[in-house]
Amino acid sequence: MGADIALLGSIAVAVALTVGAWLAIRGRYEAHRWVQTAAAAINLLLVLGIMIPSLISVKPSENADLPPSAFLYMTGHEILGALALLFGLFVVLRGNNLVPARLRFNRYKPFMRWAYGLYLAATLIGIAVYLVLYL
């Protein structure tokens, strides 16, 4: 059931991030900031509460019959997901002025776009992992 919650939660976060991007395009920056901050917080809870614990609890013998492509998808998802999580949290912290002055940047768009793209890529790979493992 944890995998189902993680999948649905990740898709909901992707939708929320997309809504947040739309809000920024429409010039509603304060709403954009709140939506993106909430989405990043929910993603952090999903990763810390479900994804990492399930990764830690996996026994190698349980995955012996998986195709080699499953391990490639899982590894790609873990690496890209970690990058998306860390970079996305940094961008959100910066957007809320919660980082030291030396780490601040002024041109938000490239950073936000990269964070959004990394998250969507990690989500798509995560969907592929779910399909391989559970369907």
16, 33 contact by CB (below 8 A): no
90, 31 contact by CB (below 8 A): no
Q: Answer yes or no: is pLDDT of 94 > 90.
A: yes
In our burial notation (b when 16+ CB lie closer than 10 A, e otherwise), range 113-123 reads eebbebbebbb
According to DSSP, residue 66 is labeled: S
Q: How many domains does the chain have?
A: 1
Q: Answer yes or no: is pLDDT of 8 > 70.
A: yes
Domain that residue 51 falls in: 2-134
What pTM does this model have? 0.90
Give the alpha-carbon dihedral of 131, 46, 94, 38, to 10 degrees.
100
CB burial of residue 18 (10 Å; 0-12, 13-18, 19+)? middle
**Tens of pLDDT along 23-51?**
999 999 999 999 999 999 999 999 999 99
Among the listed residues 81, 111, 79, the one whose alpha carbon sits nearest the alpha carbon of residue 95: 111
pLDDT band at 104 (very low <50, low <70, confident <90, very high): confident
CB atoms within 10 A of CB 32: 20
Among the listed residues 79, 81, 77, 80, the one whose alpha carbon sits nearest the alpha carbon of residue 125: 77
Residue with more model confidence, 71 or 92: 92
Residue with more model confidence, 65 or 49: 49
Range name among 19-28, 45-54, 66-75 with the lowest pLDDT average: 66-75
According to DSSP, residue 74 is labeled: H
111, 94 contact by CB (below 8 A): yes
